[in-house]
Amino acid sequence: MKRLLILGAGTAGTMMANKLLHQLDQNEWKITMVDKHETHYYQPGFLFIPFNIYSCHDVVKPKRDFVPAEVEYINSNIEIIEPEKNQVKLSNKKVIQYDILIIATGSRTVPEETEGLKDAGWYQNIFDFYTIEGACNLQKFFKHWEGGKLVLNITEMPIKCPVAPLEFLFLADWWFTEKGMRDKVDLTFVTPLPGAFTKPKAAQILGSFLDDKNIHLQAEFSTGRVDHANNKIISWDDKEIEYDVLVTVPVNMGDPVIEHSNLGDELGFVPTHKHTLQSKNHENIFVIGDATDLPSSKAGSVAHFQADVLTENIISYIEGLPLEESFDGHANCFIESGFGKGLLIDFNYDVEPLPGKFPLPGIGPFSLLQETKMNHWGKMMFRWIYWNMLLKGQELPIEAQMTMAGKIK
Amino acid sequence: MSTKVIANVEVEIDTEGFMTNPDQWTKEIASAIAKEEGVELTEAHWKVINFIRKDYSEKGTAPSIRRINKVGGISTKDMYNLFPDGPAKKAAKISGLGKPQGCV
């Protein structure tokens, strides 16, 4: 028997196990998955927790529920990946040999990378919302908060789900309006980027949303440290911004095992061929989702599109055929904008998010870069699709490659 | 593609003045671009530039501030002192590389 080993049972790894199970000859291939956590979090849901839209229980299910019975699932820390020996050592010293390795170990927030961040202010008046702990602690904090300066800072790019910070602020504007205290809350968005988003047209449109909602934008601010005693963030070039509550997006890095195995770049992301998803340094190692160093968004939709391409390429690799260079960087993100509305963006490596319509068979066109109620419902519906279709590797009516249909240049 | 004469050499540049052909770069050009950017090059600056050029020749992309720190051994604080107001962009420009690709 040959072994295909998947490291990580998050969104990307789980989809790959489900897709490959039906593609590989089960008399010839055994699929093994390793993950250190038992719980699968619906990460897009973290955003809603501080605003009481979801409870902390609404976003969790056991990982094993989504792993097919035919797949061997091991709950363990990974000690080291040894590509030269085609093996992975687990923390219990067990060694797993592989013929093909898929790295799907994701990305994590590392507040320890920023001086003063994970210190006395942490979960007192400094919170993140990219972890279940941060989101749930912030929910508690907001219940009793009487207002003041709320600063949201992106410490360093790249980050997971780059639209989430904007969504957080749009929802905060709505939430404090609903609570009748918007006039007591000052909202500021601090980013190292030159504008509200990474791509120019979307940055311009989303920037005007910030203006309309009276959210201040402080662009080109790279946070160097946090002075938690005086409630200030300080940039590398000594600019200061005061806060009463800091909602922070810490530095994002790959899993520690990547750095430990010397397989990553300076952030612990694995150098990956941008169109085939094969790792750059080892031909029998493939990388998917947030773990790659690709210039595509770190988001579930991207992992979903990559999974289609990677499934085909694993088969091609096994059959000795050339790999298809068909991953185009496609991302598709609903952006919650508050007051029961949302936007949608759809883009890839070469085409930035454009306005227009996004056709979807059976459900009907969504509006791109435009606030509609339907986009909000698309976002809310997605949780069901995620648990019931996406993780299980089922076909969704949306192509892996981006299409220009409906978009206006 | 537009061109510009820098240190008596005609080089290809983009609309923001970044060189588009790193092979045309010379140390004299670096000094001239630095002067335009208000930077007087010292030994500390050259350590950065040499690292960026070497890293580019190996990787094909301009290194990030974090990479310059972790691999090149130059602290982020020093980078901001040496190349004020956007050190990654400014250092890449002086090193004759294209504008660093923003992230996604």
CB contact under 8 A, B104 and A193: no
In chain B, positions 47-66, which contact chain A (CB-CB < 8 Å)?
64-66
Burial (0-12, 13-18, 19+ Cβ within 10 Å), A208: exposed
Residue type (1 letter), B23: D
pLDDT at B102 exceeding the cut of 70: no
Q: Which of A369, A88, A27 is nearest to A207 (CA)?
A: A369
Measured in angstroms, the CA of A121 and the nearest CA of chain B are apart by: 23
Q: Which residues of A touch B (CB under 8 A)?
A: 156-158, 162, 193-194, 198-199, 220, 222, 224, 236-237, 265-267, 295-298, 331
B103 is catalytic: yes
Contact in structure between B21 and B14 (CB atoms under 8 Å):
no
Helical (H) or strand (E) element with A33: strand A29-35
CB atoms within 10 A of CB A221: 24
pLDDT number for residue B46? 97
Among B1, B5, B103, B104, the active-site one is B103
CB contact under 8 A, B76 and A224: yes
pLDDT number for residue B21? 93
Quick one: DSSP state of residue A92?
A: T
Residue identified by tokens 């019975």 is: A69
CB contact under 8 A, B64 and A237: no
Q: Which of A185, A180, A248 is nearest to A213 (CA)?
A: A185
Tell me, yes or no, whether B49 lies in a domain: yes
Cα distance between residue B26 and residue A293, in whole Å: 31
Cα distance between residue A307 and residue A311, in whole Å: 6
Tell me, yes or no, whether B45 lies in a domain: yes
B59 to A316, B24, B52: CA distances (angstroms): 28, 18, 10
Cα distance between residue A82 and residue A89, in whole Å: 8
Q: How many CA atoms lie within 13 A of A262 on its CB side?
A: 3
Looking at every residue in chain A, the average pLDDT score rounds to 96
Domain A2-109+253-318: homologous superfamily in CATH: FAD/NAD(P)-binding domain (3.50.50.60)
Q: Which residue in A191, A201, A237 has the most chain B C-beta atoms within 10 A of its own C-beta, making it the best mutation to test that interface?
A: A237
Look at chain B and report how many structural domains it folds into. 1
Domain A112-251: homologous superfamily in CATH: FAD/NAD(P)-binding domain (3.50.50.60)
pLDDT number for residue B103? 47
Tell me, yes or no, whether B101 lies in a domain: no
Q: Which residue in A110, A239, A265 has the most chain B C-beta atoms within 10 A of its own C-beta, making it the best mutation to test that interface?
A: A265
User: Dihedral angle at the C-alpha atoms of A122, A123, A124, A127, nearest 10 degrees?
Assistant: 90
Contact in structure between A138 and A46 (CB atoms under 8 Å):
no
CB contact under 8 A, B102 and A237: no
Cα distance between residue A271 and residue A228, in whole Å: 36
ipTM of the complex: 0.85
Question: What's the token pair of residue A187?
Answer: 């909202």
Question: What's the token pair of residue B49?
Answer: 């530039």
Q: Which of A19, A49, A47, A23 is nearest to A33 (CA)?
A: A19
Cα distance between residue A407 and residue B1, in whole Å: 28
Contact in structure between B92 and B99 (CB atoms under 8 Å):
yes
Helical (H) or strand (E) element with A285: strand A285-287
pTM for the structure as a whole: 0.94
Cα distance between residue A234 and residue A170, in whole Å: 24
Instruction: In chain A, list all ranges with CATH 3.50.50.60.
Output: 2-109+253-318, 112-251
Contacts of B66 in chain A (CB under 8 A): 156, 266-267
B102 closest CB neighbour out of A193, A296, A297 = A193
Q: Low-confidence residues of chain A, pLDDT below 70? A: none
Tell me the pLDDT tens digit for each residue of A328-378: 999 999 999 999 999 999 999 999 999 999 998 877 799 999 999 999 999
pLDDT at B104 exceeding the cut of 80: no
Residue identified by tokens 């004759």 is: B96
Tell me the pLDDT tens digit for each residue of B33-83: 999 999 999 999 999 999 999 999 998 888 999 999 999 999 999 999 999
Cα distance between residue A392 and residue A18, in whole Å: 6
Helices (H), ranges, chain B? 27-36, 43-59, 65-70, 76-82, 87-94
Domain encompassing residue B11: 2-94
CB-based contacts of A143, cutoff 8 Å, min separation 6: none
Q: Which of A258, A269, A324, A259 is nearest to A296 (CA)?
A: A269
User: Coil, strand or helix: which one is A357?
Assistant: strand
CB-based contacts of A121, cutoff 8 Å, min separation 6: A226, A228, A231, A246
Contact in structure between A289 and A302 (CB atoms under 8 Å):
yes
What region, left, alpha or beta, does residue A52 occupy, with left being phi > 0 and alpha being psi -120 to 50 degrees?
left
Tell me, yes or no, whether B99 lies in a domain: no
DSSP for A183-233 reads GGEEEEEE-SSSSSSSSHHHHHHHHHHHHHTTEEEE-S--EEEEETTTTEE
Q: Quick one: closest CA in B to A198, which residue? A: B104
Backbone phi, psi, residue A318, to 5°: -65, -35
Tell me the pLDDT tens digit for each residue of A148-205: 999 999 999 999 999 999 999 999 999 999 999 999 999 999 999 989 987 888 899 9
